[in-house]
């Protein structure tokens, strides 16, 4: 049975972790700082010393054949204060052209705005919440804030922006702001619209009524409880994982958990990455073994990530009526999560685009489901609509807007080959959509 012992001490701004494998070695490994590259370097050294999973282990890209007709739109940074590119891109067509708003993570300026007259040339147009102007209820600033997945929709005479941020307790919540113009100025509601590990909001105005779609971030809830369970029941490690690399990864995460619990949310995520990746690679077996164990019911429940829909009150300050669960992760390719819902009405049907699997992995992709009613039932296409290619990795979190010809186009982010992870640059791409007989395919935009 694989067991580790881990202790930590601080050393001039770095952390030294003493890692001992029962019956097989003792090393002191340095974590130089609190950011993703520091933890990636640590996991590389840990893997070399103890045979755990390497950081961002790149699974075999499953796409084979000719490159799909994706069109890159923004492939490099356009402004020195846009620090992480154009992840979770929401594109809105307006009378003046196209507007893009994107994730900013913990950058000082939240949610970059860009404009385009033709989709090929983009110009920065400020930020939704410039440095010092983030809503009072949010945690902000480098290594404190996380501003994710913004989206702008026209609702009546106003523009509403929904977004994800961490509250003062560093828990993820959904906020809403409004403006007379898609470029602002933005006035926040002053408190979260939904709290409690909820993310990735999307506003759909259907027959004049605004609806909110969003995802419960359950996938952020199970890794540390699973690590704790494996610390208390180490015999489960061998039952969950066949590969010795995965067993060692799980055992390390169980041992490092007490120290991980003292770190900020993103550092906890970085520390649990080997366990998350091991679980994803063995997803069906992991869930089945845990379900049969009799001691993991809450963990198994959090391994399902539901997407909800509910009506928004006319003033955008509360949800009203019944809450509907419209989707969850139940296909093999989706792994431990689905996220980033976006609904488009076409050909008399509602088309729900979503991302699945882990955003750091080439297995991440974009799926689609359709329904005759806004609240479902939604029927998924069984395979991803978009998946990694040799040229672009981990396409995700799509939005839809009409292109220059008036036909709908899908807009999404992807990593350059060899990259991927938190605060890594994500490019903006587009592809055309073909709606035929209740099925959707991509085509040249």
Closest CA to 399 of 202, 176, 116, 146: 202
The strand pairing partners of 205, in sequence order, are: 210
Q: Which long-range contacts (CB under 8 A, 24 or more apart) does 98-103 make?
A: 98/401, 99/125, 99/152, 99/182, 99/183, 100/411, 100/428, 101/128, 101/150, 101/151, 101/152, 101/161, 102/150, 102/413, 102/428, 103/147, 103/148, 103/149, 103/150
Asked if the peptide bond before residue 185 counts as cis, ω within 30 degrees of 0, the response is yes
Quickly count: other Cβ atoms within 10 Å of residue 390's Cβ: 10
Residue 383 neighbours by CB under 8 Å, 6+ apart: 333
Q: How far apart are the first and last CA of the chain?
A: 54
d(CA 220, CA 217): 6
Q: What angle do CA 58, 17, 254 make, to 5 degrees?
A: 65
Residues in the chain: 445
Name the residues annotated as catalytic: 88, 339
For 84, half-sphere exposure in the C-beta direction (CA atoms, 13 angstrom radius) is 26
d(CA 315, CA 189): 10
Closest CA to 339 of 201, 210, 212, 160: 201
Among the residues of 144-282, which ranges form H helices? Answer: 223-232, 235-240, 244-260, 265-281
The strand pairing partners of 134, in sequence order, are: none
Closest CA to 70 of 428, 349, 348: 428
Strand, coil or helix: 229: helix
DSSP 294-332: SS-HHHHHHT---EEEEEEPTTSSSEEEEEEEEE---SG
């Amino acid at each position: 049975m694989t067991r580790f012992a881990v202790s930590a001490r601080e050393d001039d701004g770095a952390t030294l972790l003493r890692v001992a494998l029962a019956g097989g070695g003792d090393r002191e490994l340095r974590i130089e700082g609190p950011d993703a590259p520091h933890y990636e370097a640590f996991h590389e050294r840990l893997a070399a010393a103890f045979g755990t999973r390497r950081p961002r282990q790149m699974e075999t890209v499953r796409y084979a054949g000719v490159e799909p007709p994706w069109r890159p739109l923004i492939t490099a940074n356009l402004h020195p204060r846009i620090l992480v590119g154009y992840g979770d891109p929401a594109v809105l067509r307006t009378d003046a052209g196209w507007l893009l708003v994107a994730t900013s993570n913990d950058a000082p300026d939240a949610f970059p705005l860009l404009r385009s007259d033709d989709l090929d040339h983009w110009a920065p147009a400020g930020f939704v919440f410039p440095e010092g102007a983030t809503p009072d209820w949010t945690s902000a600033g480098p290594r404190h804030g996380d501003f994710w997945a913004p989206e702008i929709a026209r609702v009546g005479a106003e523009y509403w922006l929904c977004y994800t941020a961490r509250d003062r307790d560093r828990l993820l919540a959904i906020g809403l702001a409004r403006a007379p113009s898609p470029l602002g100025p933005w006035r926040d509601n002053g408190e979260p619209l939904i709290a409690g590990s909820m993310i990735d909001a999307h506003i759909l105005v259907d027959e004049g009524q605004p609806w909110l779609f969003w995802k419960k971030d359950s996938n952020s809830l199970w890794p540390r409880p699973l690590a704790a369970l494996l610390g208390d029941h180490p015999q489960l490690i061998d039952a969950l994982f066949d590969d010795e690399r995965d067993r060692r990864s799980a055992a390390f995460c169980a041992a490092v958990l007490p120290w991980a619990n003292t770190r900020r949310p993103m550092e906890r995520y970085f520390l649990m990455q080997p366990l998350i990746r091991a679980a994803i690679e063995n997803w069906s077996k992991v869930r089945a073994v845990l379900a049969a164990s009799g001691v993991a019911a809450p963990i198994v429940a959090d391994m399902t990530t539901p997407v909800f829909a509910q009506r928004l009150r006319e003033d955008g300050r509360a949800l009203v009526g019944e809450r509907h669960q419209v989707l969850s992760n139940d296909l093999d390719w989706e792994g431990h999560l689905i996220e980033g819902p976006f609904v488009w009405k076409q050909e008399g049907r509602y088309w729900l685009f979503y991302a699945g699997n882990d955003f750091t992995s080439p297995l991440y992709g974009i799926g689609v489901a359709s329904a005759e009613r806004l609240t479902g039932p939604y029927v998924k296409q069984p395979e991803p609509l978009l998946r990694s290619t040799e040229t672009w990795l981990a396409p995700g979190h799509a939005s839809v807007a009409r292109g220059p010809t008036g036909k709908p186009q899908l807009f999404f982010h992807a990593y350059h080959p060899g990259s991927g992870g938190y605060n890594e640059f994500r490019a903006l791409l587009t592809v055309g959509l073909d709606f035929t007989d209740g099925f959707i395919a991509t085509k040249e935009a």
